[in-house]
Every structure is written in structure tokens, then in C-alpha cells.
Structure 1
Amino acid sequence: MTNMDVALKDMMLLDGAIGAAIVDYGSGMPLGVVNGTKALDIELAAAGNTELIRAKVRTIEQLGMNDSIEDVLITLGSQYHILRPTHGRKTRGLFLYLALDRDSGNLAFARHRLKAIEEDLEV
């Protein structure tokens, strides 16, 4: 099992990592953040992306789908933002948030690592 600080450090070890957060999407509050650059306010971005997660969860429920979000990818001109809701019994209601530089990050590997981090996370 991985604690929050280790999970954040693991996320920031990814090539191209700009910032990382673990966010409670019920309250919109980040439980932990690591900012790798002044160009991105990861706390503000995490709070804003909470609305996106809430809206998608609500839409899935309204559609009566028996499914859940694996991850959400936001592609910007110079960055990737990956939001991965957690599904563990002790971590439900949280999401991992990772911002990557497009030029130096590897999107496929980042998604793979976030899945592993999410599965080991214990808060």
C-alpha cells in the first residue's frame, strides 16, 4: 500500500510531470499537491477539474449506465492533464490529477503508471 506523499512523488517522477494532486471531488479540496513549475497553479487547476469529474459522474448516473470513469484526458497545446478517479474501498471519492508537458511526457506510460498508483493508494 502506498500513502499519499509517496503517490505524489511517484507521479512527479514521470518524465514531463509539471504538477500532481490527489483531490477529494466531493469538496473540491486537494488533499495533497506537488507543483513542479510556477507556470501552473495545480491547486486552482485541481479545484476547477473537480467540476468536470462531478459532471461526468452525474451524467453516467443519469444515463443509468452501470459503469465508471477510468480516466479523463484533457489535451492542451503544450500539456496533457490526466484525471483518474480512485475506486478503492478506502479511496472512493478521490481523483489523481497529473499535468504533463506534451513534449517531454509519455502519455501512454503516464496512464499506465497512474493506474498502478491508484491501485496501491491508501489514504
Structure 2
Amino acid sequence: MPGIDECLYEAMTLPGARGAAIVDWTSGLALGSVGDSPNGDYEATAAETAEVARAAAEYQAFAPVEDPDDDDIALDLDLDLDEAADEGTGGMDHKGLPVEDLMLTTRTGFHLIRYVETTFDSSVFLYLWLDRHTGNLAMARLRLRSLAERLVLV
């Protein structure tokens, strides 16, 4: 099971990989980074991607909500949106994140964010920046999922 450095180096073996980081989305701090940064500043990139990751994970537009009229729907999130909002989590419980990953496409590249689920209240994601012309978005998404599942955070 790879640690932070091994995970980042493995991500950089993907075709078209330009940079990778593991970021805490509550603080916006990079726990580790390798390669280039889209704006030349790893810390700024970590903070900016953390804003995107936090918004997607916390907004109810992306969180499945049970339909009170449909008894057949069973969501395995153990999540009470009103109670979670009162606790300041923005309607989101860290166990069972409603979002798995994000993909942003720019004119020159692909930006992937993969949330890492852990046994503790994790707020960590893997970030990968791919060159648009040489990167393989499908392969990168599959590899990031595998890395996130195997990543060991101590």
C-alpha cells in the first residue's frame, strides 16, 4: 500500500501527467506534490483546487437526497442534511462522500480530483494535472481511483 510519495510518483507515470498533489480540502494545504503546477505555485494550486473540491463535496446539489414519497429508495449515506448543516459541515458527512471525483477540462489540460475515503474523517483528495494532447483521461481516472483506494495516510 503506497504512502503519499509513492502514490504521487505512481500518478506521474500516467501518460501526459504534468503534476500531482495530495491536498487537504479543509485547510487547502498540500500534503505532498510532484511535477509542475498549472500556475507555477504548488501552494496556490492546492488552495484553489481545495475550494473546488470543498464546494462539490458540500453543496446539496451533488448529494443524493431521499425522496419522501418513494419507500423503495434506500441510500446508504447515514446522512441527515438538516442536522449536518447545523453542525457546520454544509450538509455533508465525511463518511460516504456524495462525490467520487471531479474532472475539469481546460484548453490545454485536464484536471482530476479524486476524493480519498478513509476510516477516519478524511478531507483529502488526489489532484492530477494532465496535458490535453498526450493525456488519457479515462486511464487517469481509473488509476486515480485505484491509488485512492490503496493510499495509506498515517
TM-score greater than 0.5 by the shorter chain:
yes
Structure number, greater radius of gyration: 2
Length-normalised TM-score, structure 1 = 0.89
Q: Which runs of 5+ in 2 are unaligned?
A: 66-76, 78-96
Alignment match, 1:108: 138
Select the structure that is richer in helix. Answer: 1
Structure 1 residue 43 displacement after superposition: 3.1
Q: Name the % identity.
A: 38
Alignment match, 2:119: 89
Structure 1 residue 99 displacement after superposition: 0.1
User: Which segment is superposed worse, 8-17 or 82-91?
Assistant: 82-91
**Aligned-pair Cα RMSD in Å:** 2.2
Select the structure that is richer in strand. Answer: 1
Task: Work out the CA distance in 1 between the residues paired with 2:31 and 2:115.
Answer: 14
Structure 1 residues 119 and 26: CA distance shift in structure 2, 3 A: same
Length-normalised TM-score, structure 2 = 0.72
Structure 1 residues 40 and 16: CA distance shift in structure 2, 3 A: farther
Alignment match, 2:72: none
Deviations 1:51-78 (A, max 9, x none): 1111122213896634521111110001
User: Which segment is superposed worse, 93-102 or 47-56?
Assistant: 47-56
Aligned residues: 123
Alignment match, 2:4: 4
Work out whether residues 78 and 102 of structure 1, in 8 Å CA contact, stay in contact via their aligned partners in 2. yes
